[in-house]
Structure formats: C-alpha cells, structure tokens
C-alpha cells in the first residue's frame, strides 16, 4: 500500500502537475503554429513563388511503375520541399516561443518594478513626529 501512497504523492506534487500543463500547452501551441504555417504562411510563400507549393518540390529517383490504374511500385523521391516546409515551421515555432518568453519577462519586470507602499510608521516614529510638531509650535 505504501507504493500507491508514494505514487499518489509524486503525481500530485506541483512539479509533475506543472510539467503536465506545460506539455499540453506546448502541444496546443505546436498545433496552432503548424496551422499558421500551413494555412497562412505557406500559401503566401507559394503565391510569391509563382504558385508553386513547396510540398510539390522533389527529386524523383525512380518513377512509379503502373499497370493500368494499379500501382505496382510507388514513386521513390527525395521530398525536399516538405523538408523546407518543416524548417519554416521550426523557425516559426522558435519565433513564437521567443515572443512568448519576451512578453513573459516584460510582465515579470513590471511586477518587480512596482514600488511597494512604504511601511506604516512605528509607534516610536509617531511619538517623535508628535513631539517635533509640538516643539515647532
């Protein structure tokens, strides 16, 4: 029974929960960035490269062998266009992560820079202030 309790304690510790949240968020951000690259960036790149999609760029090593409509042996090709698409995806993810960290650090600095309110004067300071004010009169 102690192994189950230890496991429960381990799973419920803050580090494991924070790590799980980070992994889920990273997956979600990855999907958003991948969608951004494939649905927005790559069509723009294709538009400016005379309508050619990077995914179509390849070096065919062996043509596909067909008999009628049936493929006997599929095409063997180096798909360097998809690799370029992956590199653009990586750079975009890096840029997004850089911006997230930069914004986080900026927010963290503003929290640290907020001045703390001065502490209330102690009873001794209040008494000394009253004596000073009385002496001025």
Highest mean pLDDT among 37-46, 51-60, 70-79: 70-79
Distance CA 37, CA 82 (A): 12
Q: 69 in a domain, yes or no?
A: yes
What CATH number does the domain containing 21 carry? Answer: 1.10.1200.120
Q: 88 in a domain, yes or no?
A: yes
Distance CA 121, CA 70 (A): 90
CA angle 57, 30, 32 (to 5 degrees): 85
Q: 129 in a domain, yes or no?
A: no
Specify the pTM. 0.53
**Residue 1: is its pLDDT beyond 80?**
no
Q: Which two tokens stand for residue 36?
A: 């951004």
Residues 72 and 29: beta-carbon distance below 8 Å: no
Q: 89 in a domain, yes or no?
A: yes
Q: 133 in a domain, yes or no?
A: no
Q: 126 in a domain, yes or no?
A: no
For the stretch 23-42, pLDDT in tens is 898 888 888 878 887 888 87
Exposure of 23 by Cβ count < 10 A (0-12 exposed, 13-18 middle, 19+ buried)? exposed
Q: 67 in a domain, yes or no?
A: yes
- The pLDDT confidence band at residue 59, using thresholds 50, 70 and 90, is very high
Domain holding 20, by residue range, is: 2-115
Domain count, the chain: 1
The candidate with the shortest Cα–Cα distance to 77, out of 94, 57, 106, is 57
């Amino acid at each position: 029974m102690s192994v189950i309790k230890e496991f429960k304690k381990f799973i419920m510790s803050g580090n494991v929960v924070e790590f799980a949240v980070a992994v889920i968020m990273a997956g979600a951000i990855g999907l958003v960035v991948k969608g951004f690259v494939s649905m927005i960036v790559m069509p723009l790149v294709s538009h400016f490269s005379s309508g050619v999609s990077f995914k179509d760029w390849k070096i065919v090593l062996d043509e596909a062998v067909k008999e009628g409509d049936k493929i006997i042996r599929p095409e063997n090709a180096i798909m360097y266009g998809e690799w370029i698409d992956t590199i653009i995806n990586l750079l975009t993810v890096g840029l997004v992560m850089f911006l997230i960290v930069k914004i986080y650090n900026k927010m963290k600095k503003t929290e640290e820079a907020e001045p703390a309110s001065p502490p209330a004067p102690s009873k001794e300071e209040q008494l000394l202030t009253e004596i000073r004010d009385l002496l001025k009169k």
